A = this chain, B = another copy of it.
């Protein structure tokens, strides 16, 4: 949680931290500023003190909406320093040093945010050599990823709210498909028009927007062979057909852009072939078993191991046995969910960090099996939250029937 930042800074010997980017692209920045619209900014936080937001003077009104103390580059003579510098990089380094001087920042400074990769490297390398502060860069498991891994109840409510919206949309799509029928092997709507994936996706987009949510990631609505390639978005031009698996993986985001939900359902229209039914039942069985066994204090990796073992026992290829396969179980069981679609905790047996299930964790449980050559893909994904009191709640109550019956 946000209040853990000072403790984490102390544990890691960080005297001050700074985050750059925009609140939209740098989620660590958004975590501190909330939804403000500034073209670019820097947040600086000394250990034990409140964050300060620094931006251009043209942006000062928007920046103030963050509720943080706002300073502008002018407070550090950035324009003057930049003009007098021999190179832009020298200007950046000198401007940063001046800011540290004015704000009284010394010692070890940790850098976060999202930005241009060559600039980040060249700037931090130069700053490191300049030597007035010590550069601290966390390649993995940053203090933000650590703090953000544990949500407070307000954050869980935000994810829950997006998740409810998401389930409404999934319901609208399901209800629409149930009004359709099979006409000579193609799905047609009540007016007899063929239903394409593109049309369903348009419906999903409209329903998402109508609920004030965003769809930053393209929705997955993939059928047959495409459903067997986990991140295939599906072919917009294709008409839906009966009896093929449809993987509908949907990650809407709350306004801000804020928190994500991430839900998957797999459907067959009209009938379910035996081969599909067998695979579906296995995916469902292991998902329900995992959901049932979730317990605070257990390593998250355990649940992925359970899933690998279950699928292995049932004769499917798994990453536990062999890497790089595109059939069977080809991903990990889940991932944390928050301001990013993928964040900590990692629900993977191959994670290098032991993450024990803990209050504040919000994560997906999404086993799947994929057989693209057989035109089969199955994934069932729920979002689970562990509240501060340790209670574990599956936020996703949408039914898991694979069969969507058609009108005859």
Q: Which residues of A contact B (CB under 8 A)?
A: 20-21, 25, 37-39, 56-62, 74, 77, 79-80, 82-83, 87-89, 92, 110-126, 135, 137-140, 142, 217-218, 226, 229-233, 319, 323-324, 326, 330-331, 350, 352
Contact = CB atoms under 8 A, between A and B. Distances in A.
Given A87-B140, A113-B116, A118-B139, 11 more contacts: A20-B117, A74-B324, A77-B323, A79-B319, A88-B139, A88-B352, A110-B118, A111-B117, A112-B117, A121-B125, A121-B137
A111 B62 CA distance: 33
Among A21, A56, A62, A139, residue most surrounded by chain B Cβ atoms (within 10 Å): A139
Contacts of A88: 139-140, 352
B330 A57 contact: yes
A136 to B, nearest CB: 8
Shortest 7 CB-CB contacts between residues of A and residues of B: A122-B139, A74-B324, A118-B137, A58-B230, A79-B323, A58-B231, A61-B232
A114 B115 contact: yes
A92 B233 CA distance: 28
Contact of A233 (B37, B116, B122, B350): B37
Among A20, A74, A218, A324, residue most surrounded by chain B Cβ atoms (within 10 Å): A324
Report the copy number of this chain in the oligomer. 2
Contacts of A352: 87-88
A62 B139 contact: no
Given A116-B114, A118-B112, A121-B125, A89 B58 contact: no
Contacts of A124: 117, 121
A218 B115 CA distance: 20
A147 B217 CA distance: 29
A116 B111 CA distance: 10
Contacts of A123: 139
A209 to B, nearest CB: 9
A266 to B, nearest CB: 16
A31 to B, nearest CB: 14
